[in-house]
Amino acid sequence: MANPSPSSSSLLNLPLRLPNGSVLRNRLAKSSMSETLGTYDNHATPRLVELYRRWAASGLGLLLTGNVMIDRRALGEPGNVVIEDESDMLVLKQWARAATEQGAALWVQLNHPGKQSPKGLNASNLSPSAIPFREDMAAFFETPREATVAEIRDIIQRFGRSAAICKRAGFSGVQIHGAHGYLISQFLSPHHNHRSDEWGGSPENRRRFLMAVYAEIRREVGTDFPVGIKLNSADFQRGGFTEEESMATIQALVEAGIDLIEISGGTYEAPAMSGAFQKPGKASTAAREAYFLEFAEKVRKRIQVPLMVTGGFRTADGMNAALRSGSLDVVGLARLLAIDPDAPAALLQGRDSAQRVRPITTGIKPVDRMGIMEVLWYTRQLKRIAGGGNPRPSESGLMAFLKSLMDSSWGKYRTKRMRA
């Protein structure tokens, strides 16, 4: 792994060699955001091609897709793309080329929502255990049923099959979504996983599902194809996944051959990934911008693996300072790219974007406490860019929420009709 030189003027521009030998052209990455630009029967569309072509043209080294599901029976939102067979191979190849032909790497983020799916979207939702959401979220998310061992094994195989299709389509790699309260995160967390069989109980058993998913993907794609993971530093929930368990999980993944670890945190119930639950701390800490940089520093002291940190970065100086510290190797951006898709071009030249990420609120407290609000607002901006337009950074959070509710209701109706 090539570490940045402290004397470099713009460390963002340095290439990075991953453990498997593949090279990212620079240290700036687009982190995953849910686009919901698939059809209501979950096929990829040309709008995804246009969206990623614009982002790749900005100079990014790595782009990570939004949630791509591995099973049409388990959707996170209406309009999710599902890759479980090769029926969309033509569009998938176009999507991959939109970035790779411009020199950027494009990885598909593979996910299963588990219980973190809107009520009524799927016929049923499963999770390691039948643990409900907190009371004020019960109107939005139903209590899941406990997954059977046969279902667990089927999901593991689906992750591998989807990864293999991504490789054949020409994508540069895949990322396992192991964060933000989705199924893998649920298995890792003692708050969500109360199982007493081989898939639960001890931290080692709760890691078993993730490690089996990784092993199956690696078996399908081989050692020359990059496989990364997005992992919580912690869940920020009482009785949830802790930093100590995250560190042990990272160690196990490194020993298994993971190529890149993106550090994040939180769930829909505790949305730390959007800046919530971040302690004020010292001014010097706040000046470093990134939410999860302190945990990355702890990881780097113990483990040498390429690290990506996403969340909180605002300025070119802050990004370069983080790289200069040696605590991370890749700077992840997400929300900024939804309101300024051309921001990387400026950042790579040492200039800041004219836009600033702001908290998105509706004034409805139960809604504002959920990470889903941020997802809905930013998804609307992505759809504008994918349509050839520009985002609206000043759009009202309340209006976006109300319009998204209507769109979601229609989307759930159309999805059910497609399945009938």
Between CA 266 and CA 31, with CA 63 as vertex, the angle to 5 degrees is 15
- pTM recorded for the entire structure: 0.89
Q: What is the pLDDT of residue 141?
A: 92
Q: What is the pLDDT of residue 183?
A: 98
Q: What is the pLDDT of residue 22?
A: 97
CA atoms within 13 A on the CB side of 388: 1
Which among 170, 61, 155, 52 is positioned nearest to 110, based on CA atoms?
155
Q: What is the pLDDT of residue 376?
A: 83
Q: What is the pLDDT of residue 197?
A: 98
For residue 309, CA distances in Å to 292, 360, 388, 407 come to 7, 22, 29, 32
CA 338/CA 301 separation, integer angstroms: 33
CA 180/CA 313 separation, integer angstroms: 19
CA 410/CA 418 separation, integer angstroms: 12
Q: What is the pLDDT of residue 361?
A: 87
CA atoms within 13 A on the CB side of 373: 26
CB 236 within 8 A of CB 336: no
Give the pair of three-digit tokens for residue 141: 């998310």
Q: What is the pLDDT of residue 290?
A: 67
Give the pair of three-digit tokens for residue 22: 């593949």
Q: Is CATH 3.20.20.70 the classification given to domain 11-419?
A: yes
Q: What is the DSSP letter of 132?
A: P
pLDDT in tens, the chain (420 residues): 444 443 346 899 999 999 999 999 999 999 999 999 999 999 999 999 999 999 999 999 999 999 999 999 999 999 999 999 999 999 999 999 999 999 999 999 999 999 999 999 999 999 999 999 988 888 889 999 999 999 999 999 999 999 999 999 999 999 999 998 999 999 999 999 999 999 999 999 999 999 999 999 999 999 999 999 999 987 666 667 899 999 999 999 999 999 999 998 766 655 544 444 444 444 444 445 667 899 999 999 999 999 999 988 999 999 999 999 999 999 999 999 999 999 999 999 999 999 999 888 888 887 777 767 777 889 999 999 999 999 999 999 888 888 877 776 766 667 767 766
- Give residue limits of the domains in the chain: 11-419
Q: What is the pLDDT of residue 400?
A: 81
